Chains A and B, each alone.
Chain A
Amino acid sequence: MTETLTIGKALNLGLRRAMEDDAKVVLMGEDIGRLGGVFRITDGLQKDFGEDRVVDTPLAEAGILGTAVGLAMRGYRPVCEIQFDGFVFPAYNQIVTQVAKIHARSRGRLPMPIVIRIPFGGGIGAVEHHSESPEAYFAHTPGLKVVAVSNPVDAYWGIQQAIAHPDPVVFLEPKRRYWEKAEVDTDATPGPLFASRVLRGGDDVTLLAYGPMVKTALQAAEAAAEEGRSIEVVDLRTLSPLDLEPVFDSVRRTGRCVVVHEAAVTLGLGAEIAARVTETCFHSLEAPVLRVGGYDTPYPPSKLEEEYLPDLDRVLDAVDRSMGF
């Protein structure tokens, strides 16, 4: 069946289907029950699955993740909602020192099939701590897997795949794109979760993005095409492990690579990608790998976020610079 869904609704239906498929799936988070979550992603789920399956927790993020660890040890598959990206840090200890390591420490005796859902990124005019991009912290931690979705199809299938996956998955949802719509075939066979995808073919520059920046990258490619430039756009989708083989193939043809993300540029994911592309495609490169990202400042007050976030022009400017080498 094909339905037109927003990312938010696709997540809601994906969660519902995962809960129907596996009675061990338990949703945990602040305000996710009667309210349906501050973004309404869990809307109606507590009504249908009950308070034991959709748990309104006390307001304590370490508690959500720490008890999820215990539930996972008991055979459950907890799906933890962190209300906003900036609030994940109280739970950071549990995620990094416990969730990420217990499988290895127990030599596989204690699986940790936990999903940590985080609405991430800026652009919604929120106050501080509500617009951050913490992905590099998690991608830097062995034992975790990290994905970022950019569209309703990946949201619908990705959340189900993350929940069914045996390893802990940090699942990043681009909050400013929650209302973007697309057709979703709910009977389709989904592709793999941990794989990047070429969204648009091109010959001049390879443009990489994930999560909220994918739409911006596609718009930039569109605008560049009007000026006669052919941009290939890759949606990374998986941030840990990175799936860079399609990127290497692309860069070997285009000779140019630009990485876009909202997170601060220094030591961000773009740095890792630039290093690996350079190591692997050195002889094909016509220009250094360029990065477009947030400035190395705390996320600014919302009146300045338009300036902070990479937009069409900054992406196009990087494309120009790449072409200028």
Chain B
Amino acid sequence: MQLLTPEGERIQHPDHPLDVSAEELRGLYRDLVLVRRWDVEATALQRQGELGIWASLLGQEAAQIGAGRAMADTDTAFPTYREHGVAWTRGVDPLHVISLFRGVDNGGWDPVATGFNLYTVVIGAQTLHATGYAMGLQRDGAESAALAFLGDGATSQGEVNEAMIWAASFSAPVVFFCQNNQYAISVPLERQSRVPLYQRAAGFGFPGVRVDGNDVLAVLAVTRSALAAAREGQGPTFIEAFTYRMGAHTTSDDPTRYRLASELEEWKLRDPIARVKAYLSRTGVADAAFFDAVEAEGDELAARIRSGTVGMPDPPGTAMFDRVYAEQTPHLAAQQAEFEAYQASFEGAGH
């Protein structure tokens, strides 16, 4: 499924008509550029020792912005740990995501207010949460859906398969959005699956669709209709956004050890931002002044991320005792008191 070619040609698809206004198109372009800028800045901050680790979204901007912008305000996203672009569309402050990778907290955003759940590091665990949440939506008669994000590697997990069985059995209003970025850290898709991933949905009894994950318009159209179907009681859909992770899995690995440079070059030609820019320029939907303004906004965002990160205070030591339980136990309260007394013993001693 494609609506915008790598050369920036708009094409129509009979099953996925998409009406986007000029303003929406410019908005999508702005989103793509800004999340890439955020990602580049965070990668640099990690290299400079300001972040413990960073999971780059480079190359996957269209998949994330398209999916995120397809959501209604009342829908809820269940991300992995790479969905910075989706976080952006939900109004999550980039510094709230960065604080997680800096080791200050577990993510500073409000999952309820933003409809963007916590990041989940254990692979695939969130797909079950999304499905259970969708079952709750169904029971409440809410006209909303859950959008579960996962990677190609996660499809090997038992829990992801259980989530799809549950979703099908209870016809839960959940959409599984798989960003197939071709690698589970270093292990290629061939080691995960003998069939294209979207075809697996048929075995669970619901539709599976593959979309060009570097085409923001196609992702938007496909996700929008899958979410609408879910809200209307038609049950789950599996979307495979076919894309490529241009960077490392995280800043801790070295992709040159497991992939060929030629492969990277090939995918560079399908860059998700270049094609939108080509289309906007060719059709006159945006002019040089617009592109310059977005660039300038990117510079401001990067500067804000940099200063915000460097200036981010460490949490107080007692934060680790907070909210372990809704009802604190006497034992943990005693440990906290012990910790505080120990810390206090250093005060005034130059520590």
Contacts and interface: CB of A to CB of B under 8 A. Distances in A.
Contact of A241 (B117, B118, B165, B330): B330
B222 interface: no
A92 B134 CA distance: 22
B136 A98 contact: no
B139 interface: yes
Contacts of A106: 106, 111, 118, 323
A75 B117 CA distance: 15
Contacts of A298: none
A110 B128 contact: no
B136 A166 contact: no
Given A60-B162, A70-B131, A75 B326 contact: no
Given A58-B165, A105-B118, A63 B106 contact: no
Given A52-B139, A105-B107, A66 B132 contact: yes
Contacts, number: 133
A76 B278 CA distance: 49
Contact of B158 (A62, A65, A194): A62
B137 interface: yes
B169 A66 contact: no
Contacts of A265: none
B325 A145 contact: yes
Contact of B327 (A93, A97, A105, A167): A167
B128 A67 contact: yes
Contacts of A65: 128
A107 B322 contact: yes
Contact of B132 (A60, A68, A167): A68
B118 A102 contact: yes
B129 A93 contact: no
B327 A166 contact: yes
A214 B343 CA distance: 42
B325 A167 contact: yes
Nearest to B167: A67
A65 to B, nearest CB: 8
A110 B111 CA distance: 8
Interface of A: 52, 57-58, 60, 62-63, 65-76, 90, 93-94, 97-98, 102-111, 113, 142-143, 145, 165-167, 194, 240-242
7 contacts: A62-B128, A65-B128, A68-B132, A74-B139, A102-B118, A107-B105, A143-B325
